[in-house]
Amino acid sequence: MEQLIHRLADDIVEHGRGIERMFILIFLCCAIMSPFVVVNYDLSEYLPETAQSEQGLRLMEEEFGYPGTARLMIENVSLYQAKNIKKEIEALSQVDQVLWCDTASDVYMAESFIDYDDITDYYKDNCAVMDITFKSGDTEKVTHKTLDRIREIAGENAYLVGNAAQQQALQENISEEVNLVMVLAVVMILAILTLSTTSWFEPLLFLTVMGVAIVINTGTNILFPSISFMTKSVAAVLQLAVSMDYSIFLLHTYLRKKMTIEDDKVAMKESIEESINSILASGMTTIMGFLALAFMSFSIGFDMGLVLSEGIIISLFTVLFLMPALILRAQRLIVRTTHRALMPDFKRFSQGVYKMRHVIAVVVLVIAVPAYVGQGMNDFTYGTSAVSGGPGTKIYEEEQVINEKFGRSNLMMAIVPNDSLLIEREFADRVEELEYVKSITSLAQTIPEGIPESILPESVTGQLHTDDYARILIQVRSKEESELSFRASDEIQALLREYYPEGAYLVGVTPTTQDIKATINADYSFVNFLSLAAVAVVVGLAFKSIIMPIVVLIPIELAIFINMVIPYLVGTKMIFMGYLIVSCIQLGATVDYSILLSNHYIANRETMSKKDSAIEAIHLATPSILTSGVIVTVVGYMMKLICTIPAIADMGELIGRGALVSMLMVLSILPALLVYADRAITGNFGNFGRMLKKRKEKKAAKAKEVA
């Protein structure tokens, strides 16, 4: 193995110019491919094929298309004006139908003959509200162009909400916000690196290497059929923040070697040989933490896990192959721009932490159990409306205005076999009797008894009937995600099973949210265990130890519990998808802090006492941990402050706070754990290599005795 690493270091250094040319070519190709990566905004597509709503959506798309929906309210309009606006909207080529009060009432009668109490669901106080169904899906560009046209028709006094409007706002905002986060992240990281390095040029070198890795990762995403909008939002920023350690470690190893070795190439070869194992071990723990997401049944985890893992792998290759060539090329510039250390010496800090180790251990022990229990008591949201249209967004504010005036409207669609108009009518009548049902649209209720469906034009029947299936539109007075909407969905599905024992489905945001909730909850324990086990195996192999994975992971798991209990303590709802994903991300991204400090402690124990080893380990590891931790913290909180998409903002806050808490846990409790477990760490129980060696020695001794 040592010979292989030695040969690899030789090849990397000796073929630096060729490696540079290869990376330039790959960089340019990936930069060209990046704009063509397909981004998916529809979370329902990540449901497993066995989910009821997913099966129903596929069937509906085959039979009727996949309709988008929106809700329009217009202020200061008469009934006559509202009717004309409705006609214009209905005439748009991508509009399937518009549901308004004129469906059941004649709004052209003399005003004295109109019973306004009968139409308050759709018109009151000179305000009209309409439910619009499109021919294409919520995420389609043609639907979004139609939304723009509807806004023009409705005028300035219009409010437009619903799933299609949410998706339009999401797609328009996400690229702009992610780019802004990235620019500010680069500026902040540049400032942090300037404080933590000893050369004005080093931060630019780090960012150049990471920039190349990010562009390559972004471009190679074209190999996937699509990536989710959540992956697109966090992948580049996380790759930048998490992978920075590898380049810092390699450069600092090289600068240390240069103090005793004059030849630049020899110093670089030795730097690669010395640092490659640590860099790969650090990278592998992060990769394993991210890869665990790929085993989620809700396959957005597969999407995010692969893209994030791919990003770390590309960063590792870029640091190990490209960075040595860039360092050697910029050697003189690094030396010329050297400045004194701007970060303070952490000797007193390390001594203080060691002195307080027993107090810290007691405090952490007191916090641990309540944090573990409390983080499991959070209040969660699961659906697409929570992900993209939460408080703080324009869509949310407009929705509050409409709901205050007319109440809520939640569209669900029943897809049933087209076997009998009589059964369809009976089912529709039963559903219409439910207290929370605002309206129901079915062809069976529309056609007068005795008139055959065959005499009606396809343009009328095609929206609700095909040869094999019927579509029934059900408007429910509820939010898309609430106890009432879930109860409504369950009761309507129970009626479906009563009238159509086989082949009937209920689709819509609420049934999809129920399936997302069931799928993610089932994923939670398995994915968390898998990520923990995978990281533990890597740590165990890296340290050749049974006990070290336990010691290394305790501070990070405590940090995860503390991070996740805070929303419960302050009473805020969390998006469960972000909660699950960030648990794995925090583990993978911050376990490096534990590994770094533990490495220093074990190396020091060869020549120092437990006390001195712990103090020196804190002293040596603190600058690197602070640099990495502050970078991830700052990047996370910038996502929180800048992104208007609730799912991304929440993930940013969890990532930022998680890195901060992990950093504090590692620097405070880990030194105490290392000292407490010193005998196990340095003894036979803690080291596979020593155990195997002793067994071989015993076997050899026994063989001698027998001989």
The DSSP secondary structure of 11-50, one letter per residue, reads HHHHTHHHHHHHHHHHHHHHHHHGGG--EE--GGGGS-TT
Q: 10 Å Cβ neighbour count for 266?
A: 13
pLDDT for the residue 703:
61
Tell me the pLDDT of the chain averaged across its residues: 85
Residues paired with residue 414 on neighbouring β-strands, in sequence order: 472, 506
- Sign of the Cα torsion 239, 240, 245, 246 reads positive
Q: What is the pLDDT of residues 141-170, one digit of tens each?
A: 899 999 999 999 998 889 998 888 888 888
For 57, the enclosing helix (H) or strand (E) is helix 52-64
Q: Tell me the two tokens of residue 167.
A: 């998706």
If you average pLDDT over residues 59-65, what whole number do you get?
Answer: 84
pLDDT for the residue 361:
92
DSSP 78: -
- The Cα-based distances of 571 to 284, 367, 383 in angstroms read 36, 19, 19
Q: What is the pLDDT of residues 206-217, one digit of tens each?
A: 899 999 999 999
Q: What is the pLDDT of residues 305-349, one digit of tens each?
A: 899 999 999 999 999 999 999 999 888 888 888 888 778 888 899
In this prediction, residue 688 has a pLDDT band, given cuts at 50, 70 and 90, of very low
In this prediction, residue 452 has a pLDDT band, given cuts at 50, 70 and 90, of low
Is it the case that residue 458 has pLDDT exceeding 70? no
Residues paired with residue 134 on neighbouring β-strands, in sequence order: 95
pLDDT for the residue 65:
75
Closest to 170 measured CA to CA, from 390, 371, 334, 343: 390
Is it the case that residue 643 has pLDDT exceeding 70? yes
3-state secondary structure of 453: helix
The more confidently predicted of residues 706 and 196 is 196
Q: Where are the alpha helices (DSSP H) in 547-575?
A: 548-570
Most confident of 31-45, 244-258, 355-369, 642-656: 355-369
How many Cα atoms are found within 13 Å in the side-chain-facing hemisphere of 235? 31
Is it the case that residue 448 has pLDDT exceeding 70? no
If you average pLDDT over residues 551-565, what whole number do you get?
Answer: 92
Q: How far apart are the first and last CA of the chain?
A: 35
Angle at 477 between CA 476 and CA 482, to 5 degrees: 95
Is it the case that residue 442 has pLDDT exceeding 80? yes
pLDDT for the residue 699:
61
pLDDT for the residue 493:
94
Is it the case that residue 223 has pLDDT exceeding 80? yes
Contact 109, 89 (CB under 8 A): no
pLDDT for the residue 692:
46
Strands 410-417 and 469-476: antiparallel
Is it the case that residue 616 has pLDDT exceeding 50? yes
pLDDT for the residue 666:
94
Round to whole Å and give the CA distance between 160 and 205. 48
**84 Cβ contact partners less than 8 Å away, ≥ 6 residues apart:** none
Round to whole Å and give the CA distance between 338 and 202. 9
For 181, the enclosing helix (H) or strand (E) is helix 163-196
Is it the case that residue 689 has pLDDT exceeding 50? no
Contact 296, 187 (CB under 8 A): no
Closest to 674 measured CA to CA, from 518, 567, 548: 548
Instruction: Output the furthest CA–CA distance in the chain (Å, rounded).
Output: 117
If you average pLDDT over residues 81-95, what whole number do you get?
Answer: 90
What is the percent of the chain with per-residue pLDDT over 70, rounded to a whole number?
Answer: 90
In this prediction, residue 558 has a pLDDT band, given cuts at 50, 70 and 90, of very high
If you average pLDDT over residues 691-705, what whole number do you get?
Answer: 58
**31 Cβ contact partners less than 8 Å away, ≥ 6 residues apart:** 215, 219
- Sign of the Cα torsion 149, 154, 157, 158 reads negative
If you average pLDDT over residues 444-449, what whole number do you get?
Answer: 72
Q: 10 Å Cβ neighbour count for 344?
A: 10
SS (H, E, C) 94-143: CEEEEECHHHCCCCCCCHHHCCHHHHCCCEECCEEEEEEEECCCCCCHHH
Round to whole Å and give the CA distance between 378 and 574. 7
Q: Tell me the two tokens of residue 574.
A: 């969390």
For 645, the enclosing helix (H) or strand (E) is none
Q: What is the pLDDT of residues 492-517, one digit of tens each?
A: 999 999 999 988 999 988 998 888 88
Q: What is the pLDDT of residues 240-296, one digit of tens each?
A: 888 888 888 888 788 878 888 888 889 899 989 888 887 888 888 888 888 888 888
Angle at 394 between CA 391 and CA 398, to 5 degrees: 90
**702 Cβ contact partners less than 8 Å away, ≥ 6 residues apart:** none
pLDDT for the residue 220:
94
In this prediction, residue 1 has a pLDDT band, given cuts at 50, 70 and 90, of low
Q: Find how far residue 2's CA is from the centre of its chain.
A: 39
**184 Cβ contact partners less than 8 Å away, ≥ 6 residues apart:** 638, 642
If you average pLDDT over residues 476-498, what whole number do you get?
Answer: 91
Round to whole Å and give the CA distance between 267 and 230. 42
